[in-house]
Amino acid sequence: MRTLYFSPNSRSDTVVALVRMLSADIEMREVTIVRQDGSEGKVPYLTDGEDTVRERGAIMLYLTDAYPDAGLGPLPGQAERGAYLSWMFYYQGIIEPLLILKWADISHPAITAGLRDFDTMIERLAEPLRRGPWLLGERFSAADMLCTSPFFWFADMMPADPAIRDWVERCGKRMSASAK
Ligand X SMILES: N[C@@H](CCC(=O)N[C@@H](CS)C(=O)NCC(=O)O)C(=O)O
Q: Which residues of the chain form contacts with ligand X (CB under 6 A)? A: 10-11, 33, 41-44, 55-56
- Considering Cα of 156, then 157, then 160, then 164, what sign does the dihedral take? negative
DSSP class per residue in 115-135? H--HHHHHHHHHHHHTTSSBT
Q: Cβ 91 to ligand X, closest distance in Å?
A: 8
Q: Cβ 21 to ligand X, closest distance in Å?
A: 18
State which residue, 33 or 115, has the beta carbon closest to ligand X: 33
State which residue, 36 or 180, has the beta carbon closest to ligand X: 36
State which residue, 33 or 163, has the beta carbon closest to ligand X: 33
DSSP-derived pairing of the beta strands 27-30 and 2-6: parallel
Rounded to an integer, what distance in angstroms lies between the CA atom of residue 169 and that of residue 110? 34
Rounded to an integer, what distance in angstroms lies between the CA atom of residue 177 and that of residue 171? 10
Q: Cβ 88 to ligand X, closest distance in Å?
A: 11
State which residue, 6 or 84, has the beta carbon closest to ligand X: 6
Q: Cβ 7 to ligand X, closest distance in Å?
A: 7
DSSP-derived pairing of the beta strands 2-6 and 45-48: antiparallel
